[in-house]
Amino acid sequence: MDRTERFYKIEMLIRSRGCVSFAEMRELLEVSPATLKRDLQYLRERMDAPIEYDATENGYRFGEQWRGQRHELPGVWFSEKELHALLTMHQMMAGLDENGLLSRHLQPMLDKLTGMLGGDAVEAQEMTRRIKLISTARRRVPSEHFETVGSAVVKRLRLRLRYRKRGPGGGAVSDREVSPQRLVHYRNTWYLDAWCHASDGLRRFALDAMEDAAVLEGQAARSLPLKELEGELDQGYGIFAGGDPQWATVIFSDQIAAWVSSEEWHPAQRSEWLPDGRWRLELPFVDATELLMDLLRHAGQVEVLSPPALREAYAKRLRTAAAALT
């Protein structure tokens, strides 16, 4: 058994037997005297376990204040592999953290997990540095807005937003009352899916476009079934949602097909390999803006077949880009 399991076993032995001798614990745990001494010292000093030596009975027991009561060691018990996995996950979440908001709330858990592993601060820091997330074109969200919106989502309360819609000249600003449904993280940016009471429909709001956000205490949010939310906002390609989806058909050249074929462009996509090594992809979209941006990353290696409007829009973007070079 690993050390975490030994800690649990020691606690269970003392709880069930009242007092356990050093020799008895060694035999049951199958460890050396030095190892057991380190375990007992760690439990007392780092885990605040009220274990003390009783000279009269020549054994270890809980302190007098805990005798006859149920004692639990602090923390949730995991194996060493599970602890490493949790610390790795913590580091990945930190990569999504804008201003340390998540880390601030999760730090006590991180400290406890690190303590259960027994590593000192330097070792724990070195381990988490082995995980790195690289983000580009990140749109930063003020931490107070993220915390306000996140709280409203969890508490199922309405929000009052001052929202700047992107457009020429900086876009128009409007005040809205919304019922939050879920937070979405997409391409290094946070969005809020919510029912907009002004427009009487589901809308998607970028958190970085919020100039102000306030929870309307005591005003319950309108709650929509998850299936309805997914059916309206998750049908199209990328972050653009709402409206009836169309289907795009594109073909990637044999030079990049091996790479692109391993990507999921949309959960409902359909694809097939062509005899000449090219890769044919069909996928739904509602608004062509983001789809065009991703197709242009493969300019010269992808052909747009349909619908005609998408094909023409793609050709126009290519012509405009070529003209800018002359």
- CA Rg value for the chain: 29
Does residue 62 sit in the same domain as residue 94? no
pLDDT at 215: 95
Residue 240 zone, left/alpha/beta (φ > 0; ψ -120 to 50; rest) = beta
Please count the helices (runs of H) and the strands (runs of E) in the chain: 11, 11
Q: Work out the burial of residue 143: count CB atoms within 10 Å of its CB; fewer than 13 is exposed, 13-18 middle, 19 or more buried.
A: middle
Residues 162 and 213 in one domain: yes
267 plus 320 within the same structural domain: yes
In a domain, 184, yes or no: yes
CATH of the domain at 26: 1.10.10.10
Residue 137 token pair: 């074109």
CATH number at residue 252: 3.30.70
Quote the domain boundaries for residue 98. Answer: 80-130
Q: How would you write the pLDDT of the chain (326 residues) with one tens digit per residue? A: 677 778 878 887 887 788 999 999 999 888 999 999 999 998 888 877 888 899 989 999 888 766 555 555 555 455 556 656 666 666 666 666 655 556 666 666 666 656 555 444 455 566 666 666 666 666 676 667 888 998 899 899 999 999 998 766 667 899 999 999 999 888 878 899 999 999 999 999 999 899 999 999 999 999 999 888 888 888 888 877 667 889 999 999 999 999 999 999 998 999 999 999 999 999 999 989 999 999 999 999 999 999 999 999 999 999 999 999 87
Q: What pLDDT is stored for residue 149 in this prediction?
A: 92
Last residue of a domain, one of 224, 254, 282: 224
What's the rounded Cα separation, in Å, for the pair 177 and 181? 13
Whole-angstrom Cα distance, residue 84 to residue 122? 15
Residue at 91 is within a domain: yes
Q: How many domains does the chain have?
A: 4
Residue 231 lies in a domain: no
- Is the pTM higher than 0.85? no
Indicate whether 270 and 215 sit together in one domain. Answer: no
In a domain, 284, yes or no: yes
Same domain, 319 and 253: yes
